[in-house]
Chains A and B, each alone.
Chain A
Amino acid sequence: MAEQQVDAVVIGAGPGGYHAAIRLAQLGKRVVCVDRDAVGGVCLNWGCIPTKALLHVSEVARHARHAAEIGLEIPQVNVKVEGVRKFTTDVVTSNVKGVETLFKGNNVQWAIGEGSFVDKSTVKVTKKDGSSETYKAKDVIIATGAAPVDVKAWPRDGKLIINSDDAVRLPSVPKRLLVIGGGVIGLEFATVYNRMGSEVLVVEMMPNLLTGTDLEIAKTMARVLKKQKIEIMVNTKVETLEKGAKTVKATITGEGTANKPETREFDQVLVAVGRRPMSDGLNLESAGLKTDEKGFLNVDAQRRTAVAGIWAIGDITGGPLLAHKAMKEGVVAAEAIAGLPGVAYDPVAVPNCVYTDPEIATVGLSEEEAKAAGHELRIGKFPLLASGRARTMNESDGLIKLIGDKKTDVLLGMHIIAPQAESLIGEGVIALEMGATIDDIGLSIHPHPTLTESIHDAAEAAHGTAIHIINPKPTAAAAAR
């Protein structure tokens, strides 16, 4: 059995793992990155990238369907599942190739196989053919991510009952789709399938979609989705699923069914009820490491675990399960290992995007959180209906909402429902990190005509000085300026 001494081993080549490995290599460390699957992890292969490719395809389909409204004649939109699949796979493949090239260019060694701890500084990699090799290193980074939560009673079969891992490969476009779970993943797939032509029902147990999101934003989005003919039931539970030959009968009860059990038939059911940390097979006990009761690894600001020399990053550490968080943590851990001074994971806020139609992007505190934190609030809102740019795009659904502290005017949160919200939110991230006030945003010139000027308008609205909407009543601040 081959044994090799390196400076660091990274288990998992997802966004967290590949960032850590590349930065370690850049800092002169001999590093080996282990993954049982392709490089890029969930993000490139099963998550962010393939879903966004599917969302793009379905968005083009939607535009085509609405083309007549803007004077274009596009006779018929036909979804060719094969072609969509090929596009998605090509996108994934070229991204994966990109990371492989970066590994090569940075001299990151790449080991394919199942990683497990022999002891705290020894990792065994078992390949598919049963052979294995062993790596010894002073530092080991765990970046093994998360996996879909399976519901025991509804075993995934990849055809009738599927999870996100199946859905990204687009097994088919069902006529009737049931999505269990109104979180990010559920809503993104609801959007994909709806725009591809499926009838979609989303069932959510909690009182609102996207639990934890600013309530006004979540409710506004629910209305927008309903307008698009996505059926939504909140405070509602799927009780049973009964599989037939070609369809599944679901018994649903709750607010959405007037609290009476209702049985409906679907061609496919997507279970999207959450993700669980992935430490299967890692053999953490041999390293003297334990997860918390939910299966996450606790880490400090430099991403050290309780065992010296073992670090953890990304979804396995909990917090928001997001690729960009994993990336930042990967860089922090690598730099801390290399002994760079002052390294810490200390974001003011982590932005969060949901690729519905239009998209949602938020950063910082929701109105409810800001209130709970004891702030007196200053809120500025701007409906997209009043945006010239949105009108030129034949869009009108959306809302920009800024939340600030009334006393200091410091921005606490930015919430956007708008086309390309995911790109617009960058302004909010920088503003929060820099400690900007709402006035800073309102006093900065934004380009016209754009969607970003709606952020500017919302900032002015917060002070009662917006031009493009009728302000509720002139405030003292407005009078003074």
Chain B
Amino acid sequence: MAEVYEMPELAESVVEGEVLRWIKKEGERVERDEPFVEIMTEKVTVEVPAPHAGTLIKTLAAEGQVLPVGAPLAVFGEPGEDVEAALKSFVPHHGHGHGAPAAPAAPAEPAAPGLTPPPVQAVPVPPNVPTSLPSNGTTSTPQRVQREGRPLAAPAVRQYAREKGVDLALVAGSGPSGRIRRTDVDQFVSDRRGEAHPAEAAAASGALWRGPSDRLEPLKGLRRVIAQRMPQSKRTAAHTYNVDEADMTALVELRKRLKPMAQEQGVKLTYLPFIIKAAVAALKKFPYVNASIDDATHEIIVRSDYNISVAVDTEHGLTVPVIHNADARSVLDLAREVTRLAEAARANRLTPADVQHGTFTISNSGSVGGLFTLPVINLPEVAILGVHPIKQRAVVREGAVVAREMTYFSLSYDHRLVDGALAVRFLSELIRLLETPDFLLIAG
């Protein structure tokens, strides 16, 4: 019997996935656990293993298409088997909601039998559901609208929805008897985009100017996710900034002494592990910086874990793997984990576990150059630390101008939870620990 494989929930609170590449083509055989499709979610890219041996008899999404978790993705079976029947009897296992009230598992095709549904529901509309950030409740997770029977929409509205990639099962209708109008589809599309900002609205209406020799690339994959998440963070968090300078001379010397020892153990020692250590100690002192706001429940979640996200630059864009339980790790251990995650990120090999449950982020992207940057907060966290190059600069010590190993630290924080004084105290504490690295031994 042909079997429908649905878009898996690849990481916690992930609601949709983008089909990056069909590793196996229709009609090809797969062995059990053999990767058959590459899926990218807002968190990770995964080569999905086949559930069991068989033939991939039908793929239900084009490369680049986004499907909600639980939507039919592919059909396995033996060649010639009835794809139609399999899809008809398909009932999704995954709900779409997390933290939101659960909608009853609606059958894949809500149309009443006998109303001549299209013989095959294959190649469904790409139901570009809104991208929601992990469980911070800033956007509602998409759900099937509860209704009697099929979504009521005129043929022209159904056509319009397909063109916009909107699944009408997710759209609430404002017309009589819940009929879905064209404006409801527009509303859904702009909700999906966060809210209609003038620039985005212009882009949506196709009004952007294009020169004759300009190159057009699809906005997809990691770039698409970043493009969605950054403005979302900017709109959600009350971004506020604090920058301070730090004298790293002692740390530079300490690292110089420790480097050969680390090397003996095969570990490349950078400044980052020390900064993580200092950050953890400072977070312990100021718990509100290691927290989240749950808008949906009006709660502040003060984290007991110290999971430090580290921004890694890859050729596809920025990813943010997480060093879990950073508070329980030695400097060498942290160094090892940083190296492992950076390599995995660049090779596109991060696992779902590698990217979830971050509580505070350190962005090293400013280390390429410049004086300092003000990074965007990685929701649902409330603060992000910017780390920058260490350079000899002229400073005044005891009345004399001397050369010291100097750097800047920046802190972008969400003023909804972190007040200015707290941010300044937090950053000062972090700098205090790094300027006198001996403290790191006794801190926390």
List chain A positions with a Cβ less than 8 A from chain B. Answer: 288, 290, 292, 298-302, 304, 306, 308, 317-320, 341-350, 364-366, 369-370, 372-375, 405, 407-410, 412, 432-435, 437
Contact = CB atoms under 8 A, between A and B. Distances in A.
A347 to B, nearest CB: 6
B82 A410 contact: no
A341 B162 contact: yes
B153 interface: yes
B26 interface: yes
B177 interface: yes
B331 to A, nearest CB: 55
A437 B162 CA distance: 24
Contacts of A437: 176-177
B148 A405 contact: yes
Contact of A347 (B114, B116, B120, B161): B116
Majority secondary structure of chain A interface residues (helix, strand, loop or mixed): loop
A369 B122 CA distance: 24
9 contacts: A292-B82, A298-B119, A300-B123, A342-B125, A342-B163, A348-B111, A364-B114, A373-B112, A408-B148
B155 interface: yes
A301 B125 CA distance: 10
A373 B113 contact: yes
B228 interface: no
The 5 residue pairs across chains A and B that have the minimum distance between CB atoms: A435-B152, A342-B162, A369-B114, A342-B163, A300-B122
Contacts of B149: 373, 375, 405, 408, 410, 412
Nearest to A434: B154
Given A301-B121, A342-B159, A410-B148, A435 B115 contact: no
Contacts of A348: 111, 115-116, 150
B124 interface: yes
A301 B122 contact: yes
A207 to B, nearest CB: 19
B112 A317 contact: no
B58 interface: yes
B29 interface: no
Given A408-B177, A409-B177, A320 B116 contact: yes
A407 B148 contact: yes
B176 A375 contact: no
A318 B116 CA distance: 12
B82 A344 contact: no
A372 B113 contact: yes
Interface of B: 26-27, 57-58, 79-80, 82-84, 111-116, 118-125, 148-150, 152-155, 158-164, 176-179
Nearest to B83: A298
From A372, A405, A435, A437, name the one whose CB has the most chain B CB atoms within 10 angstroms: A435
Contacts of B120: 298-301
A375 B112 contact: yes
A435 B179 contact: yes
Nearest to A412: B112
From A288, A298, A372, name the one whose CB has the most chain B CB atoms within 10 angstroms: A298
A370 B118 contact: no
A302 B60 CA distance: 12
A435 B147 CA distance: 13
A292 B86 CA distance: 14
A350 B149 CA distance: 18
A342 B160 contact: yes
Contacts of A299: 119-120
B123 A435 contact: no
Contact of B112 (A306, A350, A365): A365
A435 B112 CA distance: 13
A348 to B, nearest CB: 6
B115 A412 contact: yes
B215 to A, nearest CB: 21
Contacts of A320: 116
A306 B116 contact: no
Nearest to B147: A408
A429 to B, nearest CB: 10
Contact of A318 (B58, B119, B164): B119
A317 B114 contact: no
A435 B158 contact: no
Contacts of B111: 348
A306 B154 contact: no
B162 A344 contact: yes
B114 A365 contact: yes
Contacts of A375: 112, 148-149
Given A341-B162, A375-B112, A434-B155, 20 more contacts: A288-B27, A298-B119, A300-B120, A301-B118, A301-B120, A301-B124, A306-B58, A306-B83, A319-B119, A342-B159, A344-B162, A347-B116, A347-B118, A349-B115, A349-B116, A364-B115, A373-B114, A373-B149, A407-B148, A410-B177
Nearest to B152: A435
B114 to A, nearest CB: 3
A312 B407 CA distance: 68
A346 B82 contact: no
A61 B79 CA distance: 55
B118 A365 contact: no
Contact of A370 (B112, B122, B160): B112
Contacts of A308: 26
Nearest to A325: B116
Nearest to B173: A435
Contact of B158 (A298, A300, A346, A407): A346
A369 B117 CA distance: 13
A304 B118 CA distance: 13
B131 to A, nearest CB: 21
B116 A350 contact: yes
A407 B149 CA distance: 11
Given A350-B116, A412-B112, A435 B153 contact: yes
From A300, A318, A433, name the one whose CB has the most chain B CB atoms within 10 angstroms: A300
A308 B83 CA distance: 15
A435 B163 contact: no
A341 B163 contact: yes
B84 A298 contact: yes
Nearest to A293: B82
Contacts of A319: 116, 119
Contacts of A345: 118
Given A344-B125, A410-B177, A298 B82 contact: yes
Contact of A410 (B79, B116, B152): B152
B123 A301 contact: yes
Contacts of A318: 119
Nearest to A406: B148
Nearest to A440: B176
A393 B94 CA distance: 59
A372 B115 CA distance: 12
B146 to A, nearest CB: 12
A366 B114 CA distance: 8
Contacts of B112: 365, 369-370, 373-375, 412
Contacts of B176: 437
Given A298-B120, A341-B162, A342-B163, A435 B154 contact: yes
A292 B82 CA distance: 7
B342 to A, nearest CB: 40
A111 B124 CA distance: 35
Contact of A346 (B118, B152, B179): B118
B172 to A, nearest CB: 14
B84 A304 contact: no
A432 B82 CA distance: 29
Contacts of A366: 114
Contacts of A344: 118, 125, 162
A340 to B, nearest CB: 9
Contacts of B83: 298, 306
A302 B161 CA distance: 16
Contacts of A374: 112
A31 B198 CA distance: 44
B177 A290 contact: no
A71 B159 CA distance: 53
Contacts of A370: 112, 114
A306 B115 contact: no
